[in-house]
Amino acid sequence: MSTIDDITGQIAPSAPEDQHGRGYDGHWALVWQKFRKHKLGVAGGIVVLLAYFVALVPEFLAPVTLESYMPAYSYAPPQPLHWGRDDGEGWRFAPHVNAYNSVIDYNSGRRLFEEDVEAPVYVGLFVRGESYRLLGLIESDIHLFGPIEAGQPFFIAGADRLGRDILSRTIYGTRISMTIGLVGVALSLVFGILIGGISGLFGGVVDNLIQRLIEFIQSVPSIPLWIGLAAAIPQSVPPLQVYFLITIILSVLGWTSLARVVRGRFLAMRNEDFVKAARLDGCGPVRIIFRHMLPSFLSHIIAVVSLAIPGMILAETALSYLGIGLRTPIVSWGVLLQEAQNVRTIAAAPWLLLPGGAVIVAVLALNFLGDGLRDAADPYSD
Amino acid sequence: MGHFMLRRMFYALPALIAVSIISFLVISIPPGDFITRTAELRAAQGDIMPLAEQEAMRRAYGLDQPVPLQYWNWITGIVTRGDFGYSFAFNLPVKDVIWPRMGLTIVLSLASLLFIWAVAIPIGIYSAVRRYTVGDYVATFLGFLGLAVPNFLLALAAMYIAFAGFGLSVGGLFSPEYVEAPWSWERVVDLLGHLWLPMIVLGTAGTASVIRIIRANLIDELHKPYVTAARAKGKGEFALLMKYPVRHALNPFVSGQNDIFVDIVSGGTIVAIVMGLQTTGPLLLDALRTQDMYMAASFILMLSVLVVIGTLLSDLLLAWLDPRIRYQQG
């Protein structure tokens, strides 16, 4: 719609409108609109949000805590869930699993499990169980689901060597596995923005040197180096420090792609009109970078970050699996997968691979989310 | 072309030097050395190693010298005599252990690369030409899945399927009777019989990314005017596709080979450890654990050299394919 300027009486150029007849939308509104159209990206985003929610309150979501174990249920297969039960007076709705009777098969030396229909373990929502501190603050003993009578066997996804619940442990593992990616990427981001920014801002010899350095780091096979660095952590280091050392090791090689993006954006934007205008208006370099340049490539950075997290999760899982990354008592998906060291164990207890399934879902979701964000990061191109 | 090749090789030199320094540093950073580890192990068995003996061993192995000097001795040994130092754990010169392993690593990496090309190029082309069909969606989905599954998990799954489904004993690159045997025709056949599984496992992640690269490149090319022109001249659809747009689309793919090769060599380490292959991976891990420093450093160095050479070759290939690159830089 054109408007007639009151003073000059001329027709002023109209504000661009999209097909919905709306006027200007802010940058982030445009990004959001474009992102919403990327269905896989949205789905990935929802899964990622769920995963971080799990990482926040695993104590509440898991049926039992990490300390709980039942030696009699060593390598017990998943208990099938039954929805109801015939108690003589007809079928009633009463979700339950059956406890196992176990016999040791002396031929194979393995424990065989049989459902004991006489010993149902009734299952409910919001049941009272072992007490825990939610977020380390709120004392509680309510679990989202689990056996109604606390302490009864409930292994909906099977048990490991020591008779610990795989599902609960996988839920707890989410915390470490999902955050190690975040912390690692945050560190890489600091390096990346700093070094990439210097490279893009100064240009010339500095830029050339940094670019050669990045090319060099990217051409080194990362996993042997990661293994080398991770193996250098002495066994005596406490678990929490191992966690931070691993994130540092992952980001030592991980910052390069972020630095490339930041540099590329800096170079592209240095000569943009609005940056020139800001400079001519007398803005200092700090204000130009943070007030004018950063907002316009923040969406790109977010996209690259979300694409960098899966690599970190995969690397942590692999290192922990090999026994040179995180180790117990820290519980991450990779640490849990250590239980599945050889083919025979897996053939006997395939449910030990459940944490691997969690890794795949998380990495897929993050990839989809990252793809969607990358498309949305530049909402002006079509 | 010769000029370009020389220049490019000259550029690889500083990378090689830097790689050798980093390989050695990674091994030298951790506190303690092979002697401390041995003493710890012996102490765990109740056998205390006298300090004087530890010092004597250290002197004998040259571990009492400052790190830069150790590095200098090691690297000059490699460059002048092909001597990679001594493996404390094996009681053998490193070069006796490293060469057969490196050979198998190269064979496995190249086989995986060929597998990726053979699988990914046709699927990539199909997915681009038949965009938004069921086949394209399946390929895209499998591609994403291939990227998301960790290599070692895929290795475990493949071994499990081969073990539980087909009763095959997998793991290793040879049947037990051929592990130590000298090379013979039967041994090669045996190797080929074992190579395919790790090859598929290693190739999967790469296949996924190559499919995506080819698909994206080819889609860009398919609607260019030159394609329409060729079609208007009456060229058959398949011949047209192969002759023009596919050749264009392969160019960025060739330059992307570096990254894929790095990933294969890198991921090969873990797959080899999980599947117990006679390549560099398992020995590297052991050497790192026991701080068998010359062994570990030599392995990291050789893997990196393999990657640097791979990068060099793919750059040369690209220059040979695309004259613009040779003239711009040469």
Of B59, B94, B129, the last residue of a domain is B94
**For residues B200-205, average pLDDT:** 84
Q: Do B124 and B233 reside in the same domain of the chain?
A: yes
* R_g (Cα) of chain B, nearest Å: 24
Q: DSSP states of A18-45 as a string? A: -TT------HHHHHHHHHHH-HHHHHHH
Chain B CB within 8 Å of residue A220 CB: yes
Q: Do B168 and B253 reside in the same domain of the chain?
A: yes
B327 within some domain: no
Chain B CB within 8 Å of residue A217 CB: no
Residue A103's Cβ-count burial label (10 Å; 0-12, 13-18, 19+) is exposed
Q: Do B64 and B116 reside in the same domain of the chain?
A: no
User: CB distance A225–B270 less than 8 Å?
Assistant: no
Partners of B296 on chain A (C-beta within 8 Å) are 228
Partners of A364 on chain B (C-beta within 8 Å) are 144-145, 148
For residue A1, what pLDDT band results from cuts at 50, 70 and 90?
A: very low
B56 within some domain: yes
Of B42, B64, B94, the last residue of a domain is B94
Q: Do B102 and B59 reside in the same domain of the chain?
A: no
Interface ipTM? 0.78
Partners of B31 on chain A (C-beta within 8 Å) are 234
The CATH number of whichever domain residue B312 belongs to comes to 1.10.3720.10
User: Which of B147, B157, B300 minimises the CB distance to A224?
Assistant: B300
Of B39, B63, B94, the last residue of a domain is B94
**For residues A199-220, average pLDDT:** 78
B329 within some domain: no
B16 within some domain: yes
Q: Do B118 and B158 reside in the same domain of the chain?
A: yes
- Tell me: pLDDT of A224 over 70: yes
Q: Do B163 and B308 reside in the same domain of the chain?
A: yes
Q: DSSP states of B156-206 as a string? A: HHHHHIIIIIH-----SSS-GGGSSSPP-HHHHHHHHHHHHHHHHHHHHHH
Domains of chain A, earliest start first: 70-164 (no CATH), 170-376 (1.10.3720.10)
Q: Do B35 and B108 reside in the same domain of the chain?
A: no
d(CA A48, CA A376): 17
- Tell me: pLDDT of B108 over 80: yes
User: Which of A216, A343, A364 minimises the CB distance to B148?
Assistant: A364
User: CB distance A228–B266 less than 8 Å?
Assistant: no
B328 within some domain: no
Q: Do B106 and B86 reside in the same domain of the chain?
A: no
Q: Do B12 and B144 reside in the same domain of the chain?
A: no
Partners of B307 on chain A (C-beta within 8 Å) are 219-221
Kindly state the DSSP code that residue A232 receives in the 8-state scheme. Answer: T
Q: How many domains does chain B have?
A: 2
- Tell me: pLDDT of A84 over 80: no
Q: pLDDT for B51-93, tens place per residue?
A: 787 788 777 777 777 888 888 888 888 888 878 888 877 778 8
Q: Do B25 and B133 reside in the same domain of the chain?
A: no
The whole-number pLDDT of residue B75 equals 85
Partners of A360 on chain B (C-beta within 8 Å) are 145, 148-150, 153
B283 within some domain: yes
B175 within some domain: yes
Alpha carbon A174 to its chain's center: 8
B67 within some domain: yes
User: CB distance B308–A219 less than 8 Å?
Assistant: yes
- Tell me: pLDDT of B251 over 70: yes
Kindly state the percentage of chain A with pLDDT values over 70: 92
Chain B CB within 8 Å of residue A345 CB: no
The whole-number pLDDT of residue A12 equals 46
**Domain coverage including residue B28:** 2-94
Q: Do B43 and B63 reside in the same domain of the chain?
A: yes
The whole-number pLDDT of residue A119 equals 73
The whole-number pLDDT of residue A50 equals 92
Q: pLDDT for A193-206, tens place per residue?
A: 888 877 777 777 88
Q: pLDDT for B259-280, tens place per residue?
A: 788 788 888 888 888 888 888 8
For residue A49, what pLDDT band results from cuts at 50, 70 and 90?
A: very high
Q: Do B278 and B245 reside in the same domain of the chain?
A: yes
Q: Model pTM?
A: 0.80
d(CA A326, CA A228): 15
